[in-house]
Structure 1
Amino acid sequence: MWVDQFTRLLLKHRLLFLLLIILIIAVFVFFASKLKFDNTPDSFFISTDKTLEFYKKFQKNYASDEYSLFVIRSPDKWTLSYIESIRELVSKLSRVDNVIKVRAITNVRYIEGSESGIEVGDFIPEGLTLKQILEKKKIAVKHPYYKNTYISADGKYLGIVAETNIIEGEVDYKIAIRNGFEKILAEKPYSDLDISVVGAPVLDAEVREIVAKESGLFGAIVFLLVAIGYWFMFRSLIGVVLPLIIAVVSILSAFGIMGLFGFSAGLLTPIIPSFMISVGAGSAVYLLTELHFSAKQGTSLKESIFETMRSTAVPCSLSVVTTAGALLAFSSSKIKPVEEVGLTMGLALLVSLVVSLILVPIVFSLIRDKKIIKLKSNDLFSYRTKLLSSISVFVANKYKSILVFFMILIIVSASGFLKLDTDYYYLGTFNADTRIRLNYDKVDNTIGGSSSIEIIIDTSTNDGVKNPFFLEEVDRLINLVKSHKELSPKVYSLVSVIKELNQAVNNNDINFYRLPESINVISQLLLLFESSGSDELEHLTTANYSQIRINVKVKNLPDKSYVSLFSDINKFGESSPLFMKTDSQNSEVEVTETENKIGITGLVHMWSKISSYLFENQIQSVGYAMLIVLFVMIWVFKSIKLGVFMAMSNAVAVLVVLGFMGWFGIYLDPYTVLVAAIALGILDDDTIHFVKRVQYEYDKVDDICEALHRTYITTGQAVVASSVVLIMAFSVYSLSQVSSLNKFGLLISLAIFMGLIVELFLTPAILMYFYKKKQVTETVMA
């Protein structure tokens, strides 16, 4: 048998195999050192994704769309010193590295008509009296350009917008930006002001710190809990130390694999250490359990190693392969972090299997005192044995009732599953009491517009956006966007600038705040604005005036909140004359179907796209995981019927969790979408070990009830102990600042608990049904 040959080779060349493990560890440590962090929106999409490609094109045309927004509580009465402090704050913020431009009520541009045409200067230039400044305040709270960006509608809050560079694939510079901001705000007099800061640089920096902190913290807590669990399970030092050594190797291999393949650490990374500690040592736990029981029965140490490898190596290999296969199923995900975490943990589990099959036999072969490995008797072990024995009797007597109960549970869970929905709320991944959530809530409730949507219309024609008919249709789209009051939209585009310019050249008469009807007038206005030295047009249109950018500032809300807006924009694109073949009499330039294209991008739209991928990802990952589990079950049990039923029994636990999510309104997000496939991969391990043990015992005693009883008090011990350890490990995520990680921990723990219930009741009930039916068939045939 190949297992015996492998074991003999292993024991003969122990030093060589140990050196191989050390070499593997060294390689993974080397590549782990190259690991980088990236939680930018780009990092959530695979490189060929059309949404990402369009966003990249947008950034190329319009430079950075990342900004930080400072919201300051204004005093009831403005003073000259207060305005001067704002001016100085803007100046200091502008000097922070990678800050491109900072605008506030003091230096934001102001367009005013003059004898020569227009003048563009600061809204509140230096040298104004307090009376003049207060007059400016009255203008600002009503003016569409300043209101709810640089000053709140009630005048109680001021906004400062800091535009920042984008360095692709890097986050450290954002931490430097955030730290630079915080250092300035800690100075007097700013430390006495009520200031909240939000924006992509601040958010990404916060995420980086949370991930770094929680990866280490949770890994340490899980390490301790697992160590305690193994102590109660084995009551021996080697039973604790050896699995934990393998767990550490698993973690190093996971991060090494990420570095090797160029994957980035991100929001999902805290899952990896805890998962590898609790799951990566699973094979070692089963090997140790069999070794303990074999040694207890009086066989020699060498024979115990061979017997353990014969009975456990293949089931361990198959169970790890199915778990890894379920994780590798995420390789088809359109969500890059999900794809990378799945590949990382799947490959790292295979490494942990190889290390376990090498290290456990070698370590035990070096032990001279057999007492070291014997399972020590204790009250907990005795109580667990009695409980499992009682369950085996109950299942043997009530297996039909158990099957009926689970059929009802399946129906209830399936109805909940049909209610399952997706809604990715990036900011909502953080707990409501975290600093970043509180700041965003405050900004949205005062000035608003903490997030942005970008609408791009491409005419594919030089000077195409100067066409009055085109601009009128764009203005109609803008009014459509503004009608979504629930989002508190603030729209800024070339249309707004042209209206301001038209008002300015007409003696600043508010009645001329409208679009001119002549393409020549529009061209002249834009030429005047360009000549003023302002670079604002670079952010609103392309150099040849073929595209127009419509920036929509909105509240940061769950993605479903934007569905109606996106739908209306798309319907506009289908119905507007801009996108149909027409010779409009109102148009000075013919507009054709092939010339004009409308597209939506920006951070809000990108997060919304992630949401649309989630359900598709769930179906694919669970489907692939089920196929892998089904194939392995059929192959292991040498029976199509038994393999199908055992695979379906695992699916019951997952269906209960998905049903629970549906009934209680827990949405799929990049964390919770991992639950089903990971749970399937974990739960099949216990099923393979449990059923193989039943088959092994049945071949010896030819009595299904006795075979079940023996399985409960042997393999059942490992099933219960490992499940308890896993539940303890994943429950640690309840301590996270990331609410989605809280849910992930809860749902995985629930899945493992349901898996334990299935393993102790449904799996043996199905086996009872099969073997009883087999006995009846054999009796009839006899």
Structure 2
Amino acid sequence: MKRLFKHPWLIVTVIGCITVFFALQLPRAQLDNNNFRFVPEKDPERLLSKKIDDTFGSQVFILVGLERKYDSVLEKEFLATLRTYIDQVEQLPKVDSVQSLMSTDYITGTADTIKVEPLVPKDFTGTPAEVQALKERLLSWDLYSRSLVSEDFRSTEVLITLKVTAEDAGSQEIIDTYNRIKKLAHEAGFKDTNIYFAGIPVLSVEINNAVHKDLITLIPLVVIVVITVLFLSFRRLGGVLLPLLTVLISTIWAMGAMPLLHIKLSILSTVLPVILVAVGSAYGIHIVNHYYDEIDKKGPFTRETYREAIYNLLRRVGRPVLLAALTTFAGFVSFCFTPVVPIFEFGIFSSFGVLVALGVSVTLIPALYLIRGPEGGYQAEAPRSTSKEELSSETSSSLSETQKASGASSKERNNQSEDRFSTIVANLFLAITRKKKTVLGLATLIVVFSLISLRSLIVDNVLVEYFRATTDVVRSDVFIREHFGGSKVVSVVVSSPTPGRVLHPDVLVPLDGLSRYVSESVPEVGKVMGFPDLVKRINQVFHAETTLEEMSPWAVSSGGVATLTQSAGAMPENAGEPAFGFAVSEEPAFGFGFETTPEKSSPSSGTGETNAKSRAPLSATQGTAAPEKTSSADGRNTANGSSIPQDVAALLSRARAGSRGSLKTADDLIKAVYRELNYQGYGYYEIPQDPARYGKTSQDELQGLVANYLVLLSGDISSYANDPLEPTAVRLNILLRTVGQIDTNRAIRAIKEYCHDRFPTDVTIEVGGTALIEGSLNNLVVQSQLVSIAVSLLLVFGILTFYYRSAIAGLIGLVPLSISSLINFAFMSFFGIKLNIATALVASVSVGIGIDYTIHYLAAYHHEWLRHGGDPDFLRRTFLSSGKAIIFNAASVGAGFAVLILSQFNILADLGLLYALTMATSAFAALTVLPVLLQIFKPAFITRPLRWDEE
């Protein structure tokens, strides 16, 4: 030790240089709160999500929601503004594509051709007739509703696809792109319009902004709290500056190490400085407090005697400070055993910060004292001889006294008031602990109640719930869920190694059935879009002119071959289909694949028309000529001049019977009637599965029919099929309107059960997506909570066992901590505070910090027993020597944690509240349950001196 402090200026210089080095790293710190980063790279759900992205294209979206206050989104001026905004967004370098009302193609047919044209004509003038025609186009396919426009036509979405993978959605380039998109939207001039933004990049940016605000606000606040506590304790400048200096240095080292090691800061990085300032100050307080108690009031000193006094102070304080730091370290290092990346990183750097706070406290503070010297200055000769042995004797009392008044000054001018407070505390807890049966009974009831309440503890990590309810992020999420399909995506992928196998009816029919089942029976589902919709729509278009007579069982020719009685590809006006890609989150929610790009269009696509017959003959045999077809005045098909049945009651009855009981709205009834009449081909909006109905002899031929349909899809369908002609995998996207994971899991279970029961065994069914990644994160949070608690308790048990050379000491020491942790979970259950990525930190940190109070009391109890074991008043002396210090320490640390209540984030506010609660319950349990257990069991380790006490 003497050699270490021989050159105190060297210590100050080295620590100062290292601090400057780490401080220079701080400007390089980057924030990244992308949810994908929270889940380990090897997590099965993340691997499956990556596989799906690799198969169908990895896409990240920013969704811009536009809500008109008074008018429709189909109004001319609004659409003109929207067109200008889209043109500007498309110029941004990181934007891959933009889908909206103004950039969506509309496909219709005339005679035997397919015509592709913009959904909103370029010469749109906004006349009532044009608006009505546009509404009819939007109503022509269910997939438009709640995907492109809201049901009331007052809201629309702009879907901006970015050139980035999901893992990099939180990068600085994407942040800059989002900020530019947001600025352009507000500058576009949308009148009387509310603007919303959603998507993973949006959440990442808003979390980063809130983290910046928290760091600017919370760190100064917790410093003010610590300064106030230190001033009230010591009422000296040195007593304030020295402990504060140590925690600031440890915080700079810990935060600077993150950018040095290329670790990006997360939302938990907001907690790290607050915790280090609140917790790390205790070590400096120990040293400064004992300096004022045992050195500053003695003297005068010569240079040699002053040095000896500092050395002996460190010998006395070193062990208890080390023990307190090790237990706190154990609480933080327990997070290093979790696979949740931000929690793991928090564990690494918080543990590092604690060790730095310990090292700086026991080196820098003594070095500064040695440089400064005693307050009264040195004397040439000491008035009396004070040997090393005498100084050692004067400062070698027990462990309990080394841990007293961790934040309170013992200057004599304050002794009278402090003694009164200590007496009140001692008398209060002495009275409580005399009621041994009452204390144990209440403790048992609390434990039982807490264990029962664990069943109602909610485990959920919802990004949007990080924010206050009044923030734009939450308002945007509510808007998406209320007016559109939702923001969570579940992707169902059906695959087979055989090319084209997934086009067989025995695959597509159950896949379409899944779409219908979840839409009708799973209330959490907001929208379903996928490959079956493409097949059904093109099937509808090709049969739009089929009459009611032709919808009867098809005639079979004498050759035994079914006859196709319709010209392939013929469509009535408005029997179109869109070219649009929908999504409301970071995954592609829908891509129709009809975008007409030059490199993918047919040679004739320059005119917007394609000869459907020449590209895809739909039957091998053109048999008997079809009956002559005409169109009635209202657009319904007739054959041979006959009219549609006039018996409306019978028609409605058939429509109801054919609806399978799904008529819930007037719109459902209208569509059922359309199907009965085959109005614009609605009767064929289905997956072909009856060979006779389509002039085929087997379902294998129907597979070929679907393959022919794919030939007509000249655009990119890679979002829903991995090959444009013979795919080996197709996808269905299910959008959920859920917020929490409990409802999401219920929907996912229903989806998986259906897939297990209905699909053939020779195809592979995989269910993935963002919703399942969030569920995986929830499971990891629970796993991390259990592991970190177990590790922290085990480490604390080992430290106490080693220190007291007794396993009983370790077990007894864990009792107050266990009670405190259970109360914490009961409090969360009772008040609906969710266990998430932030609140998962509470229990283990509370074990690491709360053990200090147990150590304080065990040390005091052990010391007083050795000195006054036969004295019936020894228990009161124990409370006198430790009660005030424990209460003051818990109050000061709890106050530091309570600063988090002012955070921008709900989860950090909950974290601050729970930390403050556990500090109080840990201290109270140490002062009530622990002394009762010691009195009842009278463990042997209390009656024998420690090895270092004998030295």
Letter in 1 for 2:226: V
Is 1:449–1:489's contact at 8 Å kept on the other side of the alignment?
Answer: yes
Once the two structures are overlaid, the 10-residue window that deviates more, 478-487 or 433-442, is 478-487
Q: How has the CA–CA distance of structure 1 residues 732 and 423 changed in structure 2, closer, same or farther, with 3 Å as cutoff?
A: same
Is 2:8–2:371's contact at 8 Å kept on the other side of the alignment?
Answer: no
Q: Specify which structure has the bigger relative contact order, considering alpha-carbon pairs within 8 angstroms and separated by 6 or more residues.
A: 2
**CA RMSD, Structure 1 to Structure 2 (Å):** 2.7
Q: Which residue of structure 2 lines up, in the alignment, with residue 780 of structure 1?
A: none
- CA distance, structure 1, for counterparts of residue 331 and residue 195 of structure 2: 47
- CA distance, structure 2, for counterparts of residue 458 and residue 341 of structure 1: 40
- CA distance, structure 2, for counterparts of residue 484 and residue 443 of structure 1: 21
The Cα of 1:316 is off from its aligned counterpart by 1.7
1:63 to 41, 44, 57: 57
The Cα of 1:141 is off from its aligned counterpart by 4.0
Once the two structures are overlaid, the 10-residue window that deviates more, 710-719 or 78-87, is 710-719
1:409 to 422, 428, 446: 446
SS of residue in 2 equivalent to 1:37: coil
The Cα of 1:600 is off from its aligned counterpart by 2.5
Q: Which residue of structure 1 lines up, in the alignment, with residue 8 of structure 2?
A: 14
2:486 to 449, 457, 464: 449
Once the two structures are overlaid, the 10-residue window that deviates more, 364-373 or 320-329, is 364-373
The Cα of 1:197 is off from its aligned counterpart by 2.0
The Cα of 1:650 is off from its aligned counterpart by 1.8
Q: Which residue of structure 1 lines up, in the alignment, with residue 123 of structure 2?
A: 127
The Cα of 1:538 is off from its aligned counterpart by 1.6
SS of residue in 2 equivalent to 1:268: helix
Q: Which residue of structure 1 lines up, in the alignment, with residue 949 of structure 2?
A: none
The Cα of 1:540 is off from its aligned counterpart by 1.3
- CA distance, structure 2, for counterparts of residue 57 and residue 13 of structure 1: 61
The Cα of 1:10 is off from its aligned counterpart by 3.0
Q: Which residue of structure 2 lines up, in the alignment, with residue 589 of structure 1?
A: none
Instruction: Note the residue ranges of structure 1 that are not aligned, 5 or more in a row.
Output: 1-5, 581-591, 778-782
Letter in 1 for 2:706: I
The Cα of 1:709 is off from its aligned counterpart by 4.4
* 2:485 is aligned with 1:491: no
Is 1:704–1:768's contact at 8 Å kept on the other side of the alignment?
Answer: no
Q: Which residue of structure 1 lines up, in the alignment, with residue 709 of structure 2?
A: 525
* 2:465 is aligned with 1:463: no
The Cα of 1:191 is off from its aligned counterpart by 5.3
- CA distance, structure 2, for counterparts of residue 563 and residue 45 of structure 1: 18
> Which digits, 9 at most, give the CA deviation of each residue in 1:370-422, with x for residues without a partner?
47997363486455333333335435644554333323322222222343241
SS of residue in 2 equivalent to 1:502: helix
Is 1:396–1:705's contact at 8 Å kept on the other side of the alignment?
Answer: no
Q: Which residue of structure 1 lines up, in the alignment, with residue 77 of structure 2?
A: 81
Is 1:468–1:515's contact at 8 Å kept on the other side of the alignment?
Answer: yes
> Which digits, 9 at most, give the CA deviation of each residue in 1:634-666, with x for residues without a partner?
112222223211122222111111122233332
Q: Which residue of structure 1 lines up, in the alignment, with residue 346 of structure 2?
A: 341
Is 1:440–1:556's contact at 8 Å kept on the other side of the alignment?
Answer: no
SS of residue in 2 equivalent to 1:149: coil
**Equivalent runs, 1:37-186 vs 2, <5 Å:** 37-74=31-68, 75-76=70-71, 78-128=74-124, 130=127, 131-141=129-139, 143-166=141-164, 168-169=167-168, 170-186=170-186
Is 2:99–2:158's contact at 8 Å kept on the other side of the alignment?
Answer: yes
Letter in 2 for 1:347: F
- CA distance, structure 2, for counterparts of residue 54 and residue 34 of structure 1: 33
Is 1:257–1:348's contact at 8 Å kept on the other side of the alignment?
Answer: no
Q: Which residue of structure 2 lines up, in the alignment, with residue 660 of structure 1?
A: 827
- CA distance, structure 1, for counterparts of residue 452 and residue 916 of structure 2: 22
- CA distance, structure 1, for counterparts of residue 943 and residue 298 of structure 2: 38
Is 2:493–2:729's contact at 8 Å kept on the other side of the alignment?
Answer: yes
The Cα of 1:86 is off from its aligned counterpart by 2.2
Is 2:339–2:784's contact at 8 Å kept on the other side of the alignment?
Answer: yes
Once the two structures are overlaid, the 10-residue window that deviates more, 425-434 or 365-374, is 365-374
Q: How has the CA–CA distance of structure 1 residues 448 and 471 changed in structure 2, closer, same or farther, with 3 Å as cutoff?
A: closer
The Cα of 1:625 is off from its aligned counterpart by 0.9
Is 1:107–1:125's contact at 8 Å kept on the other side of the alignment?
Answer: no
- CA distance, structure 2, for counterparts of residue 200 and residue 570 of structure 1: 25
Given the two structures, how large is their TM-score scaled by the length of structure 1? Answer: 0.90
The Cα of 1:32 is off from its aligned counterpart by 4.3
**Equivalent runs, 1:688-727 vs 2, <5 Å:** 688-702=855-869, 707-727=874-894
Q: Which residue of structure 2 lines up, in the alignment, with residue 474 of structure 1?
A: 511
> Which digits, 9 at most, give the CA deviation of each residue in 1:161-216, with x for residues without a partner?
22223254443223322321222222252254222222222211101111121123
Q: Which residue of structure 1 lines up, in the alignment, with residue 336 of structure 2?
A: 331
Q: Which residue of structure 1 lines up, in the alignment, with residue 912 of structure 2?
A: 745
Q: Which residue of structure 2 lines up, in the alignment, with residue 585 of structure 1?
A: none
2:929 to 751, 759, 762: 762
**Equivalent runs, 1:580-729 vs 2, <5 Å:** 580=761, 592=762, 596-702=763-869, 707-729=874-896
Q: Which residue of structure 2 lines up, in the alignment, with residue 438 of structure 1?
A: 475
* 2:745 is aligned with 1:563: yes
SS of residue in 2 equivalent to 1:538: coil
The Cα of 1:297 is off from its aligned counterpart by 6.5
2:29 to 7, 11, 35: 35
Once the two structures are overlaid, the 10-residue window that deviates more, 668-677 or 337-346, is 337-346
Is 1:650–1:755's contact at 8 Å kept on the other side of the alignment?
Answer: yes
- CA distance, structure 2, for counterparts of residue 326 and residue 650 of structure 1: 12
> Which digits, 9 at most, give the CA deviation of each residue in 1:502-538, with x for residues without a partner?
22233232222222341222122211112xxx22x02
- CA distance, structure 2, for counterparts of residue 688 and residue 498 of structure 1: 71
Q: Which residue of structure 1 lines up, in the alignment, with residue 718 of structure 2?
A: 538
Is 1:278–1:729's contact at 8 Å kept on the other side of the alignment?
Answer: yes
SS of residue in 2 equivalent to 1:87: helix
SS of residue in 2 equivalent to 1:377: helix
Is 1:672–1:740's contact at 8 Å kept on the other side of the alignment?
Answer: yes
Q: Which residue of structure 2 lines up, in the alignment, with residue 369 of structure 1?
A: 374
- CA distance, structure 1, for counterparts of residue 713 and residue 941 of structure 2: 89
**Greater C-alpha radius of gyration:** 2
Is 2:8–2:370's contact at 8 Å kept on the other side of the alignment?
Answer: no
SS of residue in 1 equivalent to 2:772: helix
- CA distance, structure 2, for counterparts of residue 672 and residue 231 of structure 1: 31
The Cα of 1:33 is off from its aligned counterpart by 4.6
- CA distance, structure 1, for counterparts of residue 459 and residue 500 of structure 2: 42
2:357 to 327, 331, 352: 352
Letter in 2 for 1:542: N
SS of residue in 2 equivalent to 1:492: strand
Q: How has the CA–CA distance of structure 1 residues 380 and 548 changed in structure 2, closer, same or farther, with 3 Å as cutoff?
A: farther
> Which digits, 9 at most, give the CA deviation of each residue in 1:58-86, with x for residues without a partner?
22233343222222224435433332222
The Cα of 1:283 is off from its aligned counterpart by 1.4
The Cα of 1:627 is off from its aligned counterpart by 0.5
Q: How has the CA–CA distance of structure 1 residues 116 and 265 changed in structure 2, closer, same or farther, with 3 Å as cutoff?
A: farther
Is 2:890–2:923's contact at 8 Å kept on the other side of the alignment?
Answer: yes
**Equivalent runs, 1:173-212 vs 2, <5 Å:** 173-190=173-190, 192-212=192-212
> Which digits, 9 at most, give the CA deviation of each residue in 1:9-55, with x for residues without a partner?
33223233333323432443355454332111221112222222222
Q: How has the CA–CA distance of structure 1 residues 325 and 574 changed in structure 2, closer, same or farther, with 3 Å as cutoff?
A: same
> Which digits, 9 at most, give the CA deviation of each residue in 1:586-632, with x for residues without a partner?
xxxxxx2xxx3222222222112111222222111111111111111
Q: How has the CA–CA distance of structure 1 residues 703 and 311 changed in structure 2, closer, same or farther, with 3 Å as cutoff?
A: farther
Given the two structures, how large is their TM-score scaled by the length of structure 2? Answer: 0.75
- CA distance, structure 2, for counterparts of residue 449 and residue 443 of structure 1: 6
Letter in 2 for 1:285: I
Q: Which residue of structure 2 lines up, in the alignment, with residue 554 of structure 1?
A: 736
Instruction: Note the residue ranges of structure 2 that are not aligned, 5 or more in a row.
Output: 378-408, 544-570, 576-680, 690-701, 945-951
> Which digits, 9 at most, give the CA deviation of each residue in 1:132-183, with x for residues without a partner?
3322213314621210011111222222222223254443223322321222
SS of residue in 1 equivalent to 2:444: helix
SS of residue in 2 equivalent to 1:11: coil
Q: Which residue of structure 2 lines up, in the alignment, with residue 586 of structure 1?
A: none
- CA distance, structure 1, for counterparts of residue 292 and residue 232 of structure 2: 14
- CA distance, structure 1, for counterparts of residue 873 and residue 285 of structure 2: 25
SS of residue in 1 equivalent to 2:101: coil
The Cα of 1:293 is off from its aligned counterpart by 2.3
SS of residue in 1 equivalent to 2:187: coil
Is 1:697–1:710's contact at 8 Å kept on the other side of the alignment?
Answer: yes
SS of residue in 2 equivalent to 1:118: strand
SS of residue in 1 equivalent to 2:911: helix
Greater per-residue helix proportion: 1
Letter in 2 for 1:83: L
